[in-house]
Amino acid sequence: MPASQSINSWQQVDSRAGFAAYLRFLAFDCERACGGQDSEAPTAQRWTHQSINGFLWGWVRLLGSRIDGTDLLHEEALDRPGWRGLAYQIDTVRTTPPVFNCVLADSDTKPDEVDTAQDLRMYAATLATDFARDQRERQAKTDRGQWAGDGGSWAHSTLYDWLASWAAWAGANSPLHAQLDPVTWRSVALQLSVARIYE
């Protein structure tokens, strides 16, 4: 797929390059809808989240179960994400209301411990907790009159910048990118881990 090709629907994603293009579209769309650039944009109502934290807690909810024990995602989407399945999840997460889970917030799951959708759920909660801590620490530095520029563990503080960073890294090529195909729950965790610090 040419790098310049635009993808604005998860159904069009069929490769890592397609997924990166879709993330670029979502970053642009989120910036218009959440960043206040175009509050009248038709997509503005499609974004439930305006923060990385809310997005990650929405993903935690999506990967969890309903009260009746049934999964929010279709069973086939939970088997193995694949690039299209991962794009479907991201598309669904952007309108899934977040729900904080204090048990999962303390899971401290590492990306190399992720093997299943439930492991990814715990890792997303770990990232959400870490992001909230990072933002509190940056704000405390600012409140004390200290420079808070590169002191945090997250390279970006807005959802659209984080999505753009994820897109840039997913679309790049390095030896590490060989670990992304085929898409597994662990490779998704790896992508999230890198997107946290990639600039």
Per the listing, tokens 């040419």 go with 2
Mean pLDDT score of the chain, rounded to an integer?
Answer: 81
SS3 126: helix
Residue 78 lies in a domain: yes
Give me the amino acid identity at 35.
Answer: G
Tokens of 171: 């679309």
Residue 173 lies in a domain: yes
The structural domain count of the chain equals 1
Residue 65 lies in a domain: yes
Q: Which domain holds residue 170?
A: 10-197
Residue 4 lies in a domain: no
Tokens of 97: 């209301």
Residue 5 lies in a domain: no
pLDDT digits (tens, 9 = 90+) for 54-78: 999 999 988 886 544 445 554 445 5
d(CA 4, CA 109): 36
pLDDT digits (tens, 9 = 90+) for 103-131: 777 778 899 999 988 899 999 999 999 99
Residue 191 lies in a domain: yes
- The percent of residues above 90 in pLDDT, for the chain, comes to 39
- Helix, strand, coil percentages (3-state) for the chain, rounded to 5, are 60, 0, 40
What is the pTM for the complete model shown?
Answer: 0.83
Q: What is residue 168's predicted lDDT score, i.e. its pLDDT?
A: 93
d(CA 89, CA 96): 10
Residue 3 lies in a domain: no
Per the listing, tokens 């401290």 go with 108
